A and B are shown apart, each in its own frame.
Chain A
Amino acid sequence: MNLIEAERLYENSVRILKMNQHENGGFYASPPGTRYPFIYPRDHSICIYGAVEAGLMNEARKGLEFMLNSQKPMGEFSQRYDVDGNDASYKELQIDGNGLVLFVLGKYFKATGGSFYEEMADKLFISKYWEIIEKAVQFILMNKNEEVNLIHTINSIHEYPAYEHGFEIYANCACCAGIYAAVDMGKALGKDVSGWEEQADIIKKAILTRLYSPRRRSFVKCIRVKDKNSKPIGYDPFASLVHDIDAVEYAPAYFELISDYDIKVMSTSRRIHQELWDKEIGGLNRYPEYWGRNNGGYGPWCHFTCQLANHHTETNNQDMAELYLDWVVDMAHEYTLPEHISTIERFELWLEDYTNGKILRDSKVKLIEDIRAHPKWEDGLAYVTIPLIWPHAEFIISYKKYRDKFHPA
């Protein structure tokens, strides 16, 4: 692995994270004047996670303050916010945001304590926001279906209800991990959180049984169900299973619900590699091409590639970890990372599909112009939305993990 280049990308990723935090605390998904100049709790949470891993504790704290102060009255964290913390979303429920905020709050809390967790952790901060934490957990549990013990959502990580509306794996793992984080924080404050712990255990068990297919030896994407309160869910008009491959089927390990050595994770990660590693340009695609929602052209995503690099690092597979991280380093343009990468041929195919289908939104015009204007176009590649801040945060997390394991100082 080219460690010098990897270090440079790491350093620039830290710089990019710092540069893209608004003074009010929100991390932009992409810089002002580009495609996503808003604060998306999903991206924002991973940026906080990246900041914690990079030792940017003040930035992480400020980011958490921004998010926790922006909670909606029912306890929800919305799809996106403006820099003042006002809800600016235009999509329906994305409950993984609730789980993610709690999960990274837990990461911050633990990191402030370090080896002296009990004595040093920032309990004052958690106490200040305890009521918000409670509401966030309650909102998650409000969306739990008692028939299957899973959390219902409309959108999840891909913001694509066609494949995510129902009991979706990423949302469930994020929420379950978020409740566990709240339990840990509550215990540190001396609160009675036994009810939450029981609920988290129930949800975890449901993830490991209902969202795992022993015959496929893989986690599955989603139990598609339209209404969270459909009873019985078998009669719900959407009732069906999405067992297609998706990079986020790695979520049970990403969110630390089970070990990377668990056979379920091992076989799922193998399946992800076999079916989503891009044969032409490398890197990990997020889902199958035939899902047909490939803005800018089908192709691999930097942040999903980083996420799965974690699995190979955790399981001590240095060759595979380097295959994944090397690809990210190689694809960086001037040490900045795009959302995803496609080829000119695939870009044109997507454009044709969307133009003929009359589903090309006006907002994509700028995206198309930017892709064609990017220097990598001359190399035959379509760089879609660059820089995106999320992959930089994800690279900080995964590269640090890799470096600590295989090249400790």
Chain B
Amino acid sequence: MIRLENMLPRAFLVGITKMVDMAGPLETISWMRSIGEELAQIEGPGFEGARMDSDIVYLPICPFGNEIVEFSEMYDESPPQFEAIINTMSKLKRESDTPWEYPAMSHVLDVLQHSYNQKRAELAGTRYHNLGSKSPLGDIRHYNEEAIERSGLTKKDVTEILDKAFFVYVIEHPEKE
């Protein structure tokens, strides 16, 4: 049900599809990243989520999970513009020299979320890598193999954390390298 009061999250998701139509997926990705980074500047340094004894952070609940599910119910299936963003992100990651910096994409909003998280980590003098994610639309898991390798964890470790979480991250401390 759409009411004026709760329109904004849906408007943003529809806005992403319109933005892809107008400017293409690459521009849309840049646009979302710039939003995430600006919000991170306002919020300041930090790492949102539950922290394990190590530098592993995980999100037990999915940010925007409810909005994502409701939006998918409205459209029956993912809009093609979302697929275009996910495919473009995959291409960018494949062609990158630093593939570990990319999100383990389970939804287009991961672009926004990851840029926000990474910027906040950068403000804290660290780096933040997304090791894995789980879709709120079903138990579909995505991994960033390069980030996992860099973290010293195994895919099995990440899978075990994903059993109780939607996103798994590692904080990397440049001064320890």
Contacts and interface: CB of A to CB of B under 8 A. Distances in A.
What class of interface size applies to chain B in its complex with A?
10 to 19
A90 interface: yes
B124 A84 contact: yes
Interface string B109-141: 000000000001000100000000000000000
Interface stretch (B7-15, B42-50, B79-87): B42-50
B60 interface: yes
Contact of B42 (A74, A87, A89): A74
Contacts of B120: 87
A64 B106 CA distance: 41
Interface string B15-56: 000000000000000000000000001111111111101000
Nearest to A32: B53
A73 B43 contact: yes
Interface string A61-94: 0000000000011100010001010111110000
B164 interface: yes
A29 to B, nearest CB: 13
B47 A87 contact: yes
Contacts of A86: 45-47, 124
A334 interface: no
Contacts of B46: 72, 78, 86-89
Contacts of B50: 90, 363
Contacts of B60: 361-362
A399 B42 CA distance: 42
5 contacts: A86-B47, A86-B124, A87-B45, A88-B46, A237-B5
Interface of A: 33, 38, 72-74, 78, 82, 84, 86-90, 237, 361-363
Given A87-B43, A90-B48, A90-B49, 4 more contacts: A78-B46, A87-B47, A88-B47, A88-B48
Interface of B: 5, 41-51, 53, 60, 120, 124, 164
